[in-house]
Structure 1
Amino acid sequence: MKNTFKISALVLAFAGFAVGAKAQTSTPSTTSTTTKDGIRYSIGVDAGIPLGDFKDSHKWNLGGSVQADIPVLSNQLFVTVNAGYNNVFGKKDIGGVAGADATDLHLIPVKAGLKYFPIENFYVQGEAGAAFLLNKSDVNATKSTAFVYAPQVGVQFPVSANGNFIDAGIRYEATTKYNSAFDASKVNFLGIRIAYGF
């Protein structure tokens, strides 16, 4: 029930950004948010809610990321390169057992992919890459690197005449197992990224 409420709150927040973007846009974002060299840069805050078996041991994640969007086809299709840091907070007293605490996970995801604007300001994006686990020994993982993928939808809209913009996206992000013996060692969450671009 708690996770349903949190997911609903994320979706509503995203919808609010979408409505705000539509209301504030008078010119196509594809021209007003591109730098002179055509590359869009953004710095963002990332947050998420664990899903599946992963939610049994971890409660939420917080981090940040930097991203470059490199134009490929006009100003509609971009190659993306994204790197960041995520701290996934472990739950305390799991299953009501005092002292049964899950250790926080410290991850560095590095992804690349494509971002496509089918209509003004709205995009779909898909990325894949590697997620590096910084505290492998603390969480009894057998691997420090896992494959990560993240489909995303979002809105991007200008906030100034010189090309600065806000990029708000919601995504599903998942990794392969960090311990081949446990399905729960997969990291998967519903996340949101709010970024400032230039």
Structure 2
Amino acid sequence: MKSSLKIATLVLAFAGLSFAAKAQTTTTTTSTTTNGGIRYSIGVDAGIPTGGFKNSHNWNLGGSAQADIPVANQLFVTVNAGYNNIFGKSDFKGIAGNDVADVKLIPVKAGLKFFPVQNFYVQGEAGASFLLNKKDTYNDKAVAFVYAPQVGVQFPVSASGNFIDAGVRYEATTKFNKAIDDSKVQFVSLRLAYGF
């Protein structure tokens, strides 16, 4: 909980600094911040576990598809679905053959993406994360609440409106096993996506 509070504080600090910077400059809008219609992106996600979850898992790799739906100038509603595989440690606690099972998740989230200054965004999403291998991981729930604050940069790569989206996010779930605190999945991840 303490680390998620720190991350939330950092995101709010970035947002505050961005608003202050916007008040001092004149922004030229681009296709990344205006209401040009729904934008789609497909990306690769990679990261490292945090909190107690890092004791049993090494890193994660996955992918996601996202739609950004314009609702106001520089403000979008996001819908995101993906897949994350968090790789378990081999020979856990130094015991040969004591391998921790990978955690396989399908997170489905919705939220808001706001561009306080040109090409820089702050995004927050929440939803449900579906555990595909509940029995392998000895959990008693297959669905948990997930939330993911993110900051990133989005910049155009063509005149037709295509763009690259690079963001860093913290993603965390509630417990998949009510009796085990470390059944909360927590990680910091980089998403690198191509948008159109």
Aligning the two structures, in what range does the TM-score lie when normalised by the shorter sequence? 0.7 to 0.9
The amino acid across from 1:181 in the alignment is A
Identity %: 75
**CA deviation after TM superposition for structure 1 residue 37, in Å:** 5.7
Per-residue CA deviation, residues 2-26 of structure 1 (Å, 9 max, x unaligned), is: xxxxxxxxxxxxxxxxxxxxxxxxx
**Is 2:51 aligned against 1:52?**
yes
Per-residue CA deviation, residues 119-166 of structure 1 (Å, 9 max, x unaligned), is: 000000000000000011111110000000000000000001110000
Structure-1 residue corresponding to 2:14: none
Structure-1 residue corresponding to 2:101: 103
How large is the RMSD of aligned CA atoms in angstroms? Answer: 1.6
Structure 1: segments with no counterpart, 5+ residues:
1-26
- Identify which of 172, 175, 178 aligns with 2:173: 175
Distance 1:101 1:35 in 2: 49
**Cα separation, partners in 2 of 1:138 and 1:175, compared to 1, 3 Å:** same
**Is 2:140 aligned against 1:148?**
no
Structure-2 residue corresponding to 1:189: 187
Partners of 2:86 and 2:103 within 8 A in 1: yes
Structure-2 residue corresponding to 1:19: none
The number of residues matched between the two structures is 170
Distance 1:37 1:153 in 2: 21
Q: Give secondary structure in 2 for the equivalent of 1:95.
A: helix
Please list, as runs of the form range in 1=range in 2, the aligned pairs for 1:158-169 lying within 5 A after superposition.
158-169=156-167
Distance 1:35 1:100 in 2: 52
Partners of 1:32 and 1:161 within 8 A in 2: no
Q: Give secondary structure in 2 for the equivalent of 1:115.
A: strand
Partners of 1:34 and 1:40 within 8 A in 2: no
The amino acid across from 1:107 in the alignment is L
Q: Give secondary structure in 2 for the equivalent of 1:130.
A: strand
Distance 1:128 1:149 in 2: 4
Please list, as runs of the form range in 1=range in 2, the aligned pairs for 1:1-198 lying within 5 A after superposition.
28=28, 30-33=29-32, 38-74=37-73, 76-198=74-196
Partners of 2:33 and 2:75 within 8 A in 1: no
Structure-1 residue corresponding to 2:11: none
